[in-house]
Structure 1
């Protein structure tokens, strides 16, 4: 049965339906392609990069070590940040004004100061504040560990602490948003059948919040992998530091920076693949 609306808009015999073209989108596409072609042509004409030297350094042992160090540091820092961020997020939603205030202050401080300043602080200021790091059993003379702070707070340790604590400020807000996105009715139903607050969090809230925050957490992982380049400022041998040391001696600046960019793209592609796989395994709904 044909409705009156369909009859009014039905084309007559012999007529052809012509769809309106979005000329604005096409013009923008051509403009973008022309811009990319112009930049590539300028680079090729200026011969800013020696492709043979670029390919020679792309898989060199030193560069691969830097990429491995950056991947290890970024992954471990994000794992620690997720744990600390979860604690901070639970403090924010606990309802306790003291805990919520402490958590809010933590987020404000670590999100409000640049990561580079935090890394420099951990590497330079902490050894001045504390001469030694001692681990002992309370109320006894038994010392389990005692070392000068300069030996403990290495560039890797300082970078790991700085990146982890800074990223925890961002992850806590992501986790808090995921927790608050879980329907309040499910929590009430779980408490109605006798679940404790801890069981509600463990069995109802956190599993659902984890699915909700996956895209944002994947994005933070990508950001963290790139933020490992800040560790070059304190001497940690990650990707940017190694490429910088190489081109400071042979002056192949563009080639080495291009090598670093390629490996950062590889790492972000790896992180994107993990994110996509997890989102397929644990869909939001």
Structure 2
């Protein structure tokens, strides 16, 4: 043992190194039990479907059928266009809702109240059957039969887009109100008008709050678009139903439609994640890892783990 001399000449006590800490991992038995229960139910579900009267060969056979791919394209088209219409209406009515003008504010509140308070399925049926109360579409410079004007696509677009606009108005309003009022006051002090302040200052900052629920609304729109079968629009579900009516593979075609809906929502969910990550750059010090970065990190942890257990 080495000894060190102190300032007064006295010998210092021996320096004893600290004992190495032996880390013992905590055993999470609940995780293993819950995991085993989930695996059991998944195996039981797979076994039940394997014993059912399902022609599984029909699913991959019809997955890329021409009619299915056409319906898939129509589903994407009506979802994207309806979402764009809803987004534009949402911004307009959110600004109107926040206006100090009681007339515009009341109109925006009435629009949101009506379209959020009634089912979208009922709204689709109303637009599609509008010819029952207005047989002729007449706006002065254009006149035609309502049945020719209100096509299945237009009925689906109005039903989905106007309903989505009511929800987007509340989302945009919440995003605008999340921006500090000092930003507006500073913009006005710099000489900006109300429209310039909204376009250059308020809306860009509110996107961090608006983007996440907007992505969720679009993914929900993809699934809600299946209701357009009520207006005879040839979407993915209607294409699957048409094939099922002739091939008598009803459940198989529902599985085909479900696979495509899962694929669409998965692709757009990844896009939503990267979009949220981009708009979070100004509010987070460290951005959340991307899915590829998570995979690389997990692989590196597995490769660096020593054999024979954890010390």
TM-score normalized with structure 1 length: 0.88
Partner of 1:133: 137
Partner of 1:162: 159
Partner of 1:216: 213
Using the alignment, how far apart are the partners of 1:15 and 1:278 within structure 2? Answer: 44
Is 1:271 the counterpart of 2:268? The answer is yes
Using the alignment, how far apart are the partners of 1:164 and 1:226 within structure 2? Answer: 14
Identify, as 1 or 2, the structure richer in helix: 1
Shift in alpha-carbon separation, 1:135–1:98, aligned structure 2, 3 A: closer
Q: How far has the Cα of 1:14 moved from its partner?
A: 6.0
5 Å-filtered alignment, 1:18-33, equals 18-33=24-39
Q: How far has the Cα of 1:91 moved from its partner?
A: 1.1
Structure of higher RCO (CA pairs closer than 8 Å, 6+ residues apart)? 1
Using the alignment, how far apart are the partners of 2:148 and 2:172 within structure 1? Answer: 35
Q: How far has the Cα of 1:183 moved from its partner?
A: 1.3
SS of the residue corresponding to residue 108 of structure 1 reads helix
Q: How far has the Cα of 1:205 moved from its partner?
A: 0.3
SS of the residue corresponding to residue 194 of structure 1 reads coil
Counterpart contact for 1:174–1:216, Cα < 8 Å: yes
Structure 1 gap segments, 5+ residues each:
1-11, 137-142
Q: How many residues align?
A: 266
Using the alignment, how far apart are the partners of 1:284 and 1:43 within structure 2? Answer: 46
5 Å-filtered alignment, 1:237-252, equals 237-252=234-249
5 Å-filtered alignment, 1:1-40, equals 13=19, 16-40=22-46
Using the alignment, how far apart are the partners of 2:126 and 2:172 within structure 1? Answer: 27
Aligned with 2:59 (options 54, 57, 63): 54
More moved, 21-30 vs 192-201: 21-30
Q: Deviations over 1:158-178 (max 9, x none)?
A: 111000011111111111111
Using the alignment, how far apart are the partners of 2:152 and 2:233 within structure 1? Answer: 5
More moved, 13-22 vs 115-124: 13-22
Using the alignment, how far apart are the partners of 1:73 and 1:13 within structure 2? Answer: 68
SS of the residue corresponding to residue 133 of structure 1 reads strand
Using the alignment, how far apart are the partners of 1:113 and 1:100 within structure 2? Answer: 20
Counterpart contact for 1:54–1:255, Cα < 8 Å: yes
Q: How far has the Cα of 1:15 moved from its partner?
A: 5.5
Partner of 1:146: 143
Shift in alpha-carbon separation, 1:190–1:15, aligned structure 2, 3 A: closer
5 Å-filtered alignment, 1:158-197, equals 158-197=155-194
Using the alignment, how far apart are the partners of 2:202 and 2:28 within structure 1? Answer: 45
Q: How far has the Cα of 1:152 moved from its partner?
A: 0.7
Q: How far has the Cα of 1:52 moved from its partner?
A: 1.7
TM-score normalized with structure 2 length: 0.81
SS of the residue corresponding to residue 57 of structure 2 reads helix
SS of the residue corresponding to residue 51 of structure 1 reads coil
Counterpart contact for 1:215–1:275, Cα < 8 Å: yes
Is 1:236 the counterpart of 2:233? The answer is yes
Q: How far has the Cα of 1:73 moved from its partner?
A: 0.3
Structure 2 gap segments, 5+ residues each:
1-17, 283-311
Partner of 2:12: none
Is 1:227 the counterpart of 2:224? The answer is yes
Aligned with 1:67 (options 64, 67, 72): 72
Q: How far has the Cα of 1:233 moved from its partner?
A: 1.5
Shift in alpha-carbon separation, 1:19–1:97, aligned structure 2, 3 A: farther
Q: How far has the Cα of 1:192 moved from its partner?
A: 1.5
Q: Please say which structure displays the higher CA radius of gyration.
A: 2
Using the alignment, how far apart are the partners of 2:106 and 2:32 within structure 1? Answer: 52
Q: How far has the Cα of 1:284 moved from its partner?
A: 5.6
Partner of 1:8: none
